[in-house]
Structure 1
Amino acid sequence: MKRQKGQLSLQVLIFGSIAVFILSGFVLWAETHITTVQREANKSLAFDIAESGVEYYRWHLAHDPDDYEDGTGSPGPYIHEFLDKEGNVVGEFLLEITPPAVGSTVITVRSTGRTVADPTIEKIIEVKMGIPSFAKFAVVADPPDIRFGEGTEVFGLVHSNGGIRFDGYAHNVVSSAKEEYDDPDHPPDDGSENEFGVHTHITPVDPLPPATMPDRSDVFAAGRELGVPGVNFEGLSQDLKDIQTVAKNGGFHRIKSNSKGYEVVLKTNDTFDLYKVTSLGAPPTTGCNNYLGQDGWGTWTIKNKQFLGNYAFPGNGVIFLEDNIWVRGTINTARLTIASGRFPEQDSTNTSISITNDISYTNYDGGDILALIAQKNINIGLQSEDDLKIDGALVAINGRVGRYYYRKPGGGSNRCSPYHVRSRISLHGMIATRQRYGFAYTDDTGYDIRNITYDTNLLENPPPSFPLVAGNYEMISWKEVK
């Protein structure tokens, strides 16, 4: 058979073209893959650089906690080179720092990381850092022991430096500085039968140590912790003195009223009405008396008052009155701390804050923040609303947050009726109390339903000049912006 000329050359050409096409595709794929890998590596490096910027400024604050200008004395942004282990510049981070609001410690740090290899790539991380305050807890207490009765529901962290008997429902961790203690509400109260530092008597009652502590997720949804470090209440009196100084310098300050105290009525137009309280309501009957011998017992309900004036909320958000205070009303886009105290501190002259009517926010996104800080007690008065709502952080420095014991009818007398029992109290905020807190008693007097919901905005945006529990900045929130 006669071979045709050019047949082999044509086959070589065809297969060669196919090979070149495949090889070109492989080269293109390899180049794209390498580029993608390099880009991902640069993204990862940019992210690491951005994180390094955050850690750098956290370190900076540990050494200079009041400097929000990166040691330059000038506004930012601030750029720092990022070196590899050989000392070569491989990127940079750019810091944008938002200083705290007046009276707060919470700062915002935005760190942008870029690489030398590909400056078009950047990663952005934004964090909030602050010095922890008492506002990190839903309830924090310093008494030898504390009890949460049935009908109490708490959203947020609960801590006591003493023991805790918890018979309600806790959505977050409940902790005690004690491993175990002798619960005075559980006889015999003679030290012979210690209970866990956090325990419950909801059926089935917790066993006694050294038995294994049960889980009890029906009471402690997020668990319980024993023997944790305590919270220092000793500095609160000095904190109150510092708040008085802040009020005298750009805030609102008044000396004692020479009467029963002051009433503050909060308004949504960033003002408040101030009254002098001239007399308090008497108990409804002679049978309504201090049956339990409680310190400072009374109706804590206003009868007569005198209008003093309407005032704008101070620029630094701090109101300090050297007398007892009654507070009610509503705020709208305001940050306030209202404090009550008289110095030098003495048991006989320490002042309290009382609540009988609603204290409300308009906004629950952090736009409204309120603290009530009393030198002695935060009282819920006799003639308090049947369905009482309180928005704010409540602090009793030397006393307790709670309601006095108002006797129910008996012995042929109405006693404190109908105010001896109330339906519901709802707190949206937090409680810090030096003595045992409580809004109800075991004989079914007080508030039947007690709801304590932690305001998470307090963590990132505590009230002005609110007392701190630590000295170093901690991370509050972290997010990757880009």
Structure 2
Amino acid sequence: MSFQLQASSFDMKIIIHTLSHSSQPVARSSERGVTTLLAVGFMGVLMLVVGTISSYVFQQSKYGRALFAREQALSIAESGLEYYKWFLARTPGATQTGAGLVSPYTYTVSDPEGGTLGSAEVTATAALQCGRTQWIDIASKGTANADTRFPRTISARYMRPSVAEYSYIVGENVFAGSDRTIRGPYHTNGGVRMDATHNSDVTSAVQTWNCTSNYGCNPAQPTAPGVVGNGSNPIFWSYPVTSISFDTISVDLANLQGYAQSGGGLYFGPASGDPNSRGYHLVFNSGGTVTVYRVTSTTGVWGYSTPTGWQMEYNIIAGETLVGTYAIPASCGVVFVEDRVWVEGTVQGKVLVAAATPTDGSTSPDALLKGNILYASNDGTNGLTVVAERNILFPLNAPETMEIHGIFVAQSGRYGHNYYVTSGSTQVPSQYDSYVIKTQLTTVGTVVSRLRTGTAWSSGGSTVAGFASRNDFYDRVLAFSPPPFTSVASADYGLQLWREQ
């Protein structure tokens, strides 16, 4: 029994001894397996990283090519616009009646190194009033050959700069007093004494001028700089700059008469009776109509202006008869009055009112701003331009607090409010005493006057006639879409309202 135990012990020792000797090659094999697994894992991670980087590089390359194609497409679209601008400059019929427009037109852009870079498809539409071109809207869609999936479209308006881009354009020396707030560019072909609060360019076409006490300079400055004064933001003052020609600004009144008579507009011939007691009174209505009255009598009062001195004027309506109510033609928004005209009301649509006698050189009618002039909405769909052959004036009985919207052009005369007094030989009738000094005038739009403007008269720092406070705000919404046949500030056409669609 003991012999078997020893033998068993011996056998176990042998087995243990054998196992102990065989464990070394198994460990080395396990280490090689772990190493292999690590290598495989590392290679997998490396391949994942390399794959990710490669994918990123590939995507960035695609993005770069797409970005390049997009930028190239924009340049091609710009080339299309510039080409069509060149084409229009050589196609006068397009800017007159829209004749000769080629739309759509494909313009191919060549590669300086050979071949083509892409093409621009250009479309053009003329905005017509009374059969005449007001402006031409152009859209250019550029596509690059590098990748046609990324076209880009830009648009612009081909037109001449409108006077509506300014708050004021004056042909002579002028004074803007401290009671005024002006927003928008202010230009004069003479010198300007600027004491107003202002937030935009103030420009004068002269280097120096004689600023006297009539312009607020006390003592006088015989060689005052083109722009002088105590107004705000003098950093925006510039002089001398190029003058704005009133020959360019002046619209052809005979043409306007023709458009009204035969082009689809509204025409009203000379009223009968004494020229001092006649004319037409236009009241605009928010429904897109205008009610017209024939003025049959007026009240005379003494008024003073710098160009004429004291004169008996007949600008207050005393009697009138109804002519009718008319829809403002959408296709020819011109109302031509061959006589004086009084204007007020709420304008819907875009319309030009002209007061002129083109075939009668002995008379030059005025336009009179009788009451408030508003727009049915201020979103750019409504607008008014008033053109007078001579003056645009405020009658004595205009509202004490007044608001007017529009573009007001006094082609040969002035824009203003005359001087009145309540005592002495030239006093106004007593029922009009309260109208001599008015509270406030707010103008939203543009004033263009060949002669010096003036809507307030002061003495010793106090207002003695006209409006005691004045706000002048240019209408930037109408600057690039004014009413038909609005005066232009330059005869040169250009691209306005450049934008990407």
The verdict on a shared fold, with TM-score over 0.5 as the criterion, is: yes
Work out whether residues 104 and 465 of structure 1, in 8 Å CA contact, stay in contact via their aligned partners in 2. Answer: no
Counterpart of 2:149 in structure 1 is 120
> Mean Cα displacement is larger for which, 114-123 or 14-23?
14-23
Counterpart of 1:304 in structure 2 is 319
**Number of residue equivalences:** 455
3-state DSSP of counterpart to 2:50: helix
Work out whether residues 282 and 299 of structure 1, in 8 Å CA contact, stay in contact via their aligned partners in 2. Answer: yes
Counterpart of 1:421 in structure 2 is 437
Work out whether residues 169 and 221 of structure 1, in 8 Å CA contact, stay in contact via their aligned partners in 2. Answer: no
**1:272 alignment partner, one of 258, 280, 290:** 290
Counterpart of 1:472 in structure 2 is 492
Deviations 1:355-412 (A, max 9, x none): 1211111111111110110011111001111111111110111111111111144799
Q: If you compute each CA radius of gyration, which structure gives the higher value, 1 or 2?
A: 2
What CA distance in whole angstroms lies between the structure 2 residues aligned with 1:12 and 1:229?
80
Work out whether residues 281 and 299 of structure 1, in 8 Å CA contact, stay in contact via their aligned partners in 2. Answer: yes
> Mean Cα displacement is larger for which, 155-164 or 24-33?
24-33
Query: Are positions 1:249 and 2:265 aligned together?
Result: no
Counterparts in 2 of 1:198 and 1:100: CA distance versus 1, 3 Å: same
1:109-258 superposed matches below 5 A: 109-143=138-172, 145-184=173-212, 185=214, 186=217, 193-200=222-229, 202=230, 219-220=232-233, 223-235=236-248, 239-250=252-263, 251-258=265-272
What CA distance in whole angstroms lies between the structure 2 residues aligned with 1:117 and 1:393?
49
**1:438 alignment partner, one of 454, 458, 462:** 454
3-state DSSP of counterpart to 2:57: helix
Q: Which structure 1 segments of 5+ residues have no match?
A: 203-217
What CA distance in whole angstroms lies between the structure 1 residues aligned with 2:497 and 2:439?
37
3-state DSSP of counterpart to 1:355: strand
What CA distance in whole angstroms lies between the structure 2 residues aligned with 1:12 and 1:134?
80
Query: Are positions 1:342 and 2:357 aligned together?
Result: yes
1:312-331 superposed matches below 5 A: 312-314=327-329, 315-331=331-347
Structure 2 length as normaliser, TM-score?
A: 0.84
Query: Are positions 1:391 and 2:419 aligned together?
Result: no
Q: Which has the higher strand share?
A: 2
What CA distance in whole angstroms lies between the structure 1 residues aligned with 2:386 and 2:211?
30
Work out whether residues 416 and 455 of structure 2, in 8 Å CA contact, stay in contact via their aligned partners in 1. Answer: yes
Counterpart of 2:29 in structure 1 is 4
3-state DSSP of counterpart to 2:78: helix
**Identical residues among aligned pairs (%):** 26
Work out whether residues 397 and 434 of structure 1, in 8 Å CA contact, stay in contact via their aligned partners in 2. Answer: yes
Work out whether residues 304 and 311 of structure 2, in 8 Å CA contact, stay in contact via their aligned partners in 1. Answer: no
What CA distance in whole angstroms lies between the structure 2 residues aligned with 1:72 and 1:349?
37
Q: Which structure 2 segments of 5+ residues have no match?
A: 1-23
What CA distance in whole angstroms lies between the structure 2 residues aligned with 1:291 and 1:373?
20
Work out whether residues 193 and 227 of structure 2, in 8 Å CA contact, stay in contact via their aligned partners in 1. Answer: yes
Structure 1 length as normaliser, TM-score?
A: 0.87
Work out whether residues 93 and 100 of structure 2, in 8 Å CA contact, stay in contact via their aligned partners in 1. Answer: no
What CA distance in whole angstroms lies between the structure 2 residues aligned with 1:10 and 1:235?
88
1:20-99 superposed matches below 5 A: 20-67=47-94, 76-99=103-126
What CA distance in whole angstroms lies between the structure 1 residues aligned with 2:347 and 2:205?
36
What CA distance in whole angstroms lies between the structure 1 residues aligned with 2:233 and 2:228?
10
**Letter of the aligned partner of 2:449 in structure 1?**
T
Work out whether residues 104 and 461 of structure 1, in 8 Å CA contact, stay in contact via their aligned partners in 2. Answer: no
Query: Are positions 1:447 and 2:467 aligned together?
Result: yes
What CA distance in whole angstroms lies between the structure 2 residues aligned with 1:165 and 1:39?
56
Cα RMSD, aligned residues only = 2.7
Counterpart of 2:482 in structure 1 is 462
> Mean Cα displacement is larger for which, 459-468 or 168-177?
459-468
What CA distance in whole angstroms lies between the structure 2 residues aligned with 1:245 and 1:439?
33
Counterpart of 1:210 in structure 2 is none
What CA distance in whole angstroms lies between the structure 2 residues aligned with 1:472 and 1:74?
19
Work out whether residues 148 and 165 of structure 1, in 8 Å CA contact, stay in contact via their aligned partners in 2. Answer: yes
What CA distance in whole angstroms lies between the structure 2 residues aligned with 1:301 and 1:471?
38
**1:355 alignment partner, one of 369, 385, 402:** 369
